[in-house]
Amino acid sequence: MPDLDPARSFAVFVDRATIALPPEPRFGVDTPRLNDLTLTPRPSGLSPAQIRRFPHLREYRAFDVPDMSDKSLSDLLRGPLAACGTGVQIAGVLDDLYREAADAELGPVIDEDGVRLSVWAPTARDVALELGDEVLPMTRDDLTGVWYATGDPTWIGRFYRYRVEVWHPAVGEVVTTGVTDPYSVSLAVGSTHSQLIDLSDPDLMPPGWDALVKPPAVAPARSQIAEVSVRDFSILDATVPPADRGTYLAFTHPDTAGMRHLRSLAEAGLTHVHLLPVNDFAGVPDRRADRAEPRCDLASLPPDSAEQQRAIAEVAGRDGYNWGYDPWHWTVPEGSYATDPDGPARIRELRAAIAALNGIGLRVVLDVVYNHTVADGLDRFSVLDRIVPGYYHRRLADGATADSTCCANTAPEHMMMGKLVIDSLLVWARHYRVDGFRFDLMGHHPRANILEARIRLDHVHDSGKDLLLYGEGWDFGEVAGDARFAQATQLNMAGTGIATFNDRLRDAARGGGAFAEDPGTRGFATGLGADTPLAVHDQIKVGLAGGLAAYRFTAHDGVERSGAEIGYHGRPGGYAAAPGETINYVDAHDNEILYDAMAFKLPRETAAEDRARMQVLALALVVLSQGAGFVALGSERLRSKSLDRNSYDSGDWFNQIRWDPADGNGFGIGLPPAAENAAKWEFARPLLADPALVPGPEVIATAAERYRELLRIRTGSPVFGLPTAEQVQRRVSFPLGGPGEQPGVIVMCLDGTGLDDRWTRHVVVFNALAEPVAVPLAGELRLHPVLIDSADPVLRTASPGCVPPRSVAVFVGTGT
């Protein structure tokens, strides 16, 4: 163990009565003290209640803190703390002392009584309000630790910051810093100041906002979601007015290439558009004039050149591109997506985009990133940690900020961070009328925090229960295995109605995993064909059945097993309690997009038409499965990112959707950025140099229409998207399963008796082989009407006796 460093904080102030210290004897426990207070060792250790609240401190030694008044404790917490030779973590005691703050109304409040600004800063020595050129005193509420100032309506529209004087452990001294409001609802350009705005002001509402008619509510298990970045959607769309490309307003032009495409998907059965983060983030300058552009003609360079990525890397962080997973202010629309980032135009324009998407029949999901901030301490991008140092972020044993999420991890298990998450969600739901939320790295949230969000959103307005909630239920980092709280992970969210992404189906379909070293590892839909292990069939079937833990079927060994008994890297393959609790997908914004994954995996000589068929086959596993389906927008059009596996800061060049097929699909536009992809350049270079891997316009158009056909098939019958596990067990089967099943061919039967007015049977045949197959099925079946005039001519004559290669065929019947 290293020598004691007073700048590190091994001690934990659990509550007003208890200090906890690691079990190592090196801390000076012979004369245990907290500053000048004598601590009393507690031989029994932490109480059961304390261990339930802080399970990671189970083995810590406990020390009793002398009883003191609220004022004395408050004063103590507003200065430096040391216990037994080390610094002190204070989140627990702040939650204990200021528990009434959970009900405080923070940020800007405008009502008939005037204007009120409030900020929770319990450890601050003083807080003042910087309102324009004025500096106004704020009043401290000793019960809650909230500082507030009141004014009249003339304050509305003015910019402000808080001037906070606080002892900061990052520098070991008292600092005074001007900081924006963590509850900001509007910002100045560059996020330098918060703006006091009334979100109910009619001037901030686009035409028709009050009368906005929402698309019909969609049950989670019936949802089909397409994910897209605001900038990707339109930055290269020549049919969008130049001033609106890459902005919210691009969605308001109904006759652009992008909006026509979205409308066609909505008419076919797409139900939701999932927008990558649209809250204020740090990675892009707000004003176009302040952004840098690559200094060379990228299009003129060879398809396997490293020069494109080099030119983009030179301006990364200063150009117009970032996914937005570097949150700065959680409840303000991102300024770089607005035509005017200085003030409230961004509010009106995001609302206009939401209304426009609703107007073509699509509900809108926001991607929210509450699990980390872009910075902490006194960094210029830090907000929370300059107001209550050491509170809002999760601390490791030595007091350092955890960063397993990639940046400074927040701590929603702390009362006021959890409250901030809920309060922010309510603003988006109430004032922007969004239709759902996707939680980034949801497994880093407590399950209780996400469940509270569900309850509060249910009651935010009359249709709150229709809001779709889902997230990444990954289990990793310092919180893994419920180390600090019951996490919102895949297994823990079963039975809650909140969905998680199903990596089991993804990996079985694609091959390998999210972090596989060999990009050529094949899966069911990426070229395994007749070599597909039947155990992979089992994983696919669990996914097709909605990822249900209890779903039973005949496994590859001939034994009837449940989804939970099908293994996945030592975990259950099926984990959900209801089909609406899984998001089935084969690609998303991160990792290689589907076309690029297939480029790595399929034989080089695979014809463009067959690549497209395999892509549609993979997408069919998503669209025709039970549970919600999810796709990265553009995958239905064979979108590529030139093999970039992590394009978060790769510029428009690698990310933009090419709506004109004459521009290609994005493949072969240069080696992907070295920072994330250099290890795979040896695999990538010969692929990118091969012009045969760039699909022609007719191949792109056929793939897109085949995806629409799948959506029409799904939408046309209630057997797709069944609501309960009981229904799935009763109606979904795999009749050819067992040790004799043909590798590379999966047959799924869906029983519509008493449910579907037209057909009692749907039979779906997924043929991943390079040759046609015949499937032995009893009863009279005919090709689904949608496929009789399929965009792919080989499907028009498909029958159970001849299912075309590399394709999915759907048959219907009225018999058993």
Tell me the sheet residues that pair with 12. 20, 89
116: its two tokens: 């009120």
Instruction: Give Cα separations from 351 to 167, 390, 417, 428, 811 (angstroms).
Output: 40, 35, 26, 10, 42
Distance CA 642, CA 662 (A): 16
| Cα 508 from Cα 526, distance rounded (Å) | 10
Residue found by looking up tokens 């949802």 in the block? 223
Three-state DSSP state, 350? helix
Q: Which sign, positive or negative, has the C-alpha torsion 261, 265, 271, 272? A: negative
Alpha-carbon separation of residue 97 from 51, 294, 734 (angstroms):
19, 53, 58
Buried b (16+ CB within 10 A) or exposed e, 454-488: beebeebeeebebbbbbbbbbbebbbeebebbebb
Q: Which among 304, 334, 440, 741 is annotated as catalytic?
A: 440
Active-site residue among 280, 472, 592, 636?
A: 472
3-state secondary structure of 408: strand
Residue 591 tokens, joined: 């990792």
Return the ∠ at Cα 794 (arms to 789 and 632), rounded to 5°. 80
- CB count within 10 Å of CB 227 equals 23
| Look-up of token digits 């601590």 | 39
Does residue 334 have an active-site annotation? no
Q: Which two tokens stand for residue 471?
A: 């997230």
Alpha helix stretches (DSSP H) within 440-485 = 447-458
Structure tokens at 173: 């001294």
Q: Which residue has the tokens 């080099």?
A: 310
Q: What is the DSSP letter of 776?
A: -
97 SS3 class? helix
Residues near 102 by beta carbon (within 8 Å), at least 6 away in sequence: 415, 416, 419
Beta strands in 202-298 (DSSP E): 224-228, 272-275, 279-281
Comparing C-alpha atoms, which of 714, 808, 809, 811 is closest to residue 270? 714
Is residue 440 flagged as an active site residue?
Answer: yes
Residue 490 carries which DSSP code? T
Task: Determine the longest span between alpha carbons in the chain, in angstroms.
Answer: 87
CB 640 within 8 A of CB 596: yes
CA of 399: how far to CAs of 36, 89, 406, in Å?
Answer: 21, 7, 17
Query: Crossing angle, helix 608-623 and helix 503-510, to 10 degrees?
Result: 160
Residue 727's φ and ψ, nearest 5 degrees, are -65, -40
Structure tokens at 290: 């302040």
Q: Which helix (H) or strand (E) holds 12?
A: strand 11-15
User: What whole-number distance in Å separates Cα of residue 395 and Cα of residue 410?
Assistant: 9
* Cβ neighbourhood burial of 91 (10 Å; 0-12, 13-18, 19+): buried
Q: Which active-site residues does the annotation give?
A: 440, 472
